[in-house]
Amino acid sequence: MCAPTSMCPPLALCLREGTQQSHSLAENTVLMKCLRNGLISAEPLRQWMASLYFVYSALELEMYNHADHPVIGRIYFPRLERTLQLENDLAFYYGDNWRRQIQPSRKTIRYVMRLHAIANDQPALLAAHAYVRYMGDLSGGQGLRAKIRSALKLPEGLGTAFYEFEGLPTAETRRAFKGVYRDALNQLPVDTQLATQLIEEANLAFKLNCDVMHELASQVKATVSEATWELITHENLPGSTAHLPPPIELVSA
């Protein structure tokens, strides 16, 4: 089995370095650049949150269903679940009958189908999707929360529940929990082959996420000026992992 030794690097590090290009591509989608620059309006945001609702509902259902799996069980942290938080946000943006107003987009359906497929065929790969989603929510997602609240002038306590984690109210507590999560990843009972598959699946998770965001580009364009659109679409932001060393090669222990 693959253990965190000099011959086989820690899985958390492998995932981080093995997805740096995909991470950068995600951060350079039009939707994400507008979010990071505080240029978002309510319509594309609520559609984005609706897509996230379908994705997290599928992911968290399958994580729950496989909580006894030898890999998934070790990184199953119910406190990270976002489905109920997204329900609160959707009720704010759409009203009490929000369930009747939202539908998954074509790319969202593809994302959800992938989650259910690997849950049936190779549940361990769900760990890659959980890593991509939750580590992002605990990291860059916190900055997005502030940008959204400022751009939309949201009422106190409404509209950004997705980015709020009960029991992790500060940057320090979130940073500490990310350390716990990385330690859990590093202790997963995976061999070199599975570790490689997890990295590949994490890259696919980023791509599926990008595809959903690309679908919303036209809605974003409709809410900004032509000059702002040109600036945003030609801006290239280095991802937070874009300048790391080359990915570590996995070696069997």
Is 163 known as a binding-site position?
no
Q: Which of 26, 63, 64 is nearest to 48 (CA)?
A: 26
Give, for 173, the enclosing helix (H) or strand (E): helix 171-186
Is 16 known as a binding-site position?
yes
Q: Which of 132, 206, 160 is nearest to 45 (CA)?
A: 160
Q: Which of 50, 54, 55 is nearest to 102 (CA)?
A: 50
Residue with tokens 């999707």: 129
Residue positions counted in the chain: 253
Is 131 known as a binding-site position?
yes
CA distance 102 to 46: 9
Q: Which of 23, 159, 50, 62 is nearest to 107 (CA)?
A: 50
CA distance 45 to 35: 9
Return contacts of 144-150, CB within 8 angstroms, 24+ apart. Answer: 144/35, 144/36, 147/35, 147/36, 147/37, 147/38, 147/40, 148/35, 148/38, 148/40, 148/45, 150/38
Please give the single-letter amino acid code of residue 218: S
Is 99 known as a binding-site position?
no
Going by the annotation, the residues of the binding site are 16, 23, 131, 182
Going by the annotation, the residues of the binding site for heme b are 16, 23, 131, 182
